[in-house]
Amino acid sequence: MIEIQPHGSVIAIRMARTFLGRPLYWTAAYWLEGLLIDSGPPCLAEALVQAVEPLGVEQIVVTHGHEDHTGGLAALRRRFPLAPIRASAGTIPLITEAQPRGQRFYQRLLWGAPQAVADIETLGLEVRAGPFTLRVIETPGHSRDHIVFFEPKQRWLFSGDAFIGGRDRAWAAEFEMFGTLSSLRALASLHPERLFPGSGHVRRTPLPELHGKIGQLLALCRDVGHLDRLGMPTDEIARRLCGGESSLRFWTGGHFSAANLIAACRSYNEIFDPEAEPATDAAKRLQQI
């Protein structure tokens, strides 16, 4: 499934593999004046090429090396051989490997296996697309190599997976809380007026959601810290704060789990003592149960 959504000068290209006609997981690429940001999953690479062919692609950049954002690069290179592909120094090895290291069965099933792409150029401090200039900003947390693109005049933020909407109830083992919160604070400090995230769900007034996400994760870290001091085991903390383990843990073979999210909170609490922060109302109620 592929959806084209214009947002002024920016065109969002939302992609999802379907099951019984229903999308399983949305990811997005964005086109701006010949610049393509991210390239979707391998299983929809040819559909993406067909979508952008009438627009033309003069250059390609990626926010990070996950296959749902880089999977279309090989097909794009074949169709647009003169368009340079640029990525951060940390992302380039993830794109140029002959076989993706550590790809799990669910990832291959959901997105497909990406093909290696050679001759990737290293991103500089900014990217120009027609009259627009996008700053390149490092935003580790979701992955170590993650970057975002910010157009300061329009206040457009292409955030990749540095911001994911909704309430977090499960994380991958490699997600890192300190980096995630630091990156979210950096994004909020830009005061974006339009946010183009990796899901393709474009936000027109993103600042309240960015602050809300920061507050949500900080509250979770504090609550985990208070329950840890009560000696509560991980599975019970997961039940009280995350509603227990979801089916996501099963379908991803444990790669995504509430336990990973709690572990990320604990790592953050080792740096910032949650005792220095007042308990949230949720934590106070949990202590009384």
pLDDT of residue 99: 53
**Amino acid in the structure at residue 251:** W
Q: How confident is the model over 70-108, as pLDDT tens digits?
A: 999 999 999 999 999 999 999 999 999 755 556 788 888
| Tokens coding 31 | 């086109």
Residues 25 and 48: beta-carbon distance below 8 Å = no
Q: How confident is the model over 158-192, as pLDDT tens digits?
A: 999 999 999 999 999 999 999 999 999 999 999 99
CA 102 – CA 232 distance, rounded (Å)? 33
Residues 148 and 139: beta-carbon distance below 8 Å = yes
Mean pLDDT of 209-228: 96
pLDDT surpasses 80 at 287: no
Displacement of CA 186 from its chain's centroid (Å): 15
pLDDT of residue 25: 86
For residue 6, which phi and psi values (nearest 5 degrees)? Answer: -75, 140
pLDDT surpasses 50 at 41: yes
pLDDT of residue 104: 82
What does the domain layout of the chain look like in residue ranges?
A: 2-205, 216-288
Mean pLDDT of 139-150: 97
CA 100 – CA 83 distance, rounded (Å)? 23
Displacement of CA 280 from its chain's centroid (Å): 27
Which of 42-56, 74-88, 98-112, 203-217 shows the lowest per-residue confidence on average (mean pLDDT)?
A: 98-112
The residues facing 19 across adjacent strands are: 22
| Tokens coding 6 | 């214009």
CA 171 – CA 261 distance, rounded (Å)? 5
Q: Regarding the domain with residue range 2-205, which homologous superfamily does it belong to in the CATH classification?
A: Ribonuclease Z/Hydroxyacylglutathione hydrolase-like (3.60.15.10)
pLDDT surpasses 70 at 284: no
pTM: 0.90
For residue 233, which phi and psi values (nearest 5 degrees)? Answer: -70, 165
Q: pLDDT band at 251, cuts 50/70/90?
A: confident
